[in-house]
Amino acid sequence: MPGKTKRKYVGDLMQLNKTLKRPLSTIKNALPFNYNAETILKAFIKYYPLLWNQLDERYNLYHAKDLYLKKHGKKMRYKPLKAKDYILSLPQIKLWLSRGMITKHQANFDEKERLKNIAILEAKRNKALEKRNAALAKNTETIQNIEPLYIDAFITAYHRKGIDINGKIEIFNELKKFNNKKTLDFFYKLNDAERNTQVRNMAFSHLQSLGKYVKLRGGFKGKSKSYMTEKSSFDMTPADLLFRIESDTVQSIKTFNFFLSHSIRNRKTVLDTIKRLNEKNYTVYCDWTSDNDFLKRSLIGDYTKTVLKKRLEQSEKLLLLSTKDALKSEWVEFELEYFQNLGKPIYFIQIDNYTDNRLEEYLPFNLTEPKD
């Protein structure tokens, strides 16, 4: 392993060992009278599931790098340990599993004290996990868990020679709206190899927001080129999006299984519906999630309406979330009328009485065609 790469990898390991020291110490006082390696692993997974997942992701990340090197006739550099083996290789855990430490633990063991420690640990961990899970849920609430047909075309377009910073950010923003293996691999590669500092930092931040294991790549050696320091605020309008759709760009190749017609007042229902449609392998167009970089509510006007017409044309079906608010909306009326003129199928789900615990009742996916 080259000197610099080795130092970075070893430094990463040292930081990881330091990060794990405190979590592992909290488990020590919750171990039963008889414990072993399996007991320790189960406790760690139970109380620190996100850390466990990150260890697993770390292994997959570096293992994939080794496989890539091997495929191209080079020596594997990293040889990472799987999460289980990594935990058990730590000096702290080796000490716990030594005969002397087990004997000492059993000599001082107090079951009442252990149960008290477990109660304290569970209270702290449950609170921390709730907070972390709430943050992850917020970060991912508008992301669709599906792989659209046009993903490969977007990734290819990103690497096309001559693409400028706005083009890169546009494609970046489009791909971050989806969670699948291809997009995650794409963002990891940007974090590793993208030479533009702004985009590389964006990839790092996005992966972090998803709770993924990721290390920020530092700057590249040598003289900085202009494209490496180029920046953009990507402040776009509905007119900019319309221009892109009509100019045979990546925006013009998008397709959607469903155009979701709805009222913004039913936000929670809209997001739940998108998730359920994704589970059925359907891609969904929703203006404030699918085109949020361009269709700003402060800029609503004729360009917005023309863009929606284009998106309606790119959609196979329209699904109306039929609520009192939706039926009063002039935008819903416009979408239904335009889609009907296109001669495409229109479906609806009546959800005026929607509640979280009755989601299955109102979203059975035997979609109903409205009667004339």
- Among 4, 45, 2, smallest CA distance to 23 is for 45
Q: In this structure, how many other beta carbons lie within 10 angstroms of the beta carbon of residue 277?
A: 21
Q: Which residues pair with 349 in a beta bridge?
A: 321
Out of 147, 335, 337, 360, the active site residue is 335
Q: Answer for the pair 238, 310: CB distance below 8 angstroms, yes or no.
A: no
Strand (E) or helix (H) holding 321: strand 315-322
Would residue 122 show up in a list of annotated catalytic residues for this protein?
no
**Helix then strand then coil, % of the chain, to nearest 5:** 65, 5, 30
Report how far residue 17's alpha carbon sits from residue 63's, in angstroms, rounded to the nearest whole number: 19
DSSP letters, 56-112, are HHHHHHHHHHHHHHHHTT------PPPHHHHHHHSHHHHHHTSHHHHHHHHHT--HH
Query: Which sequence positions are flagged as catalytic?
Result: 335
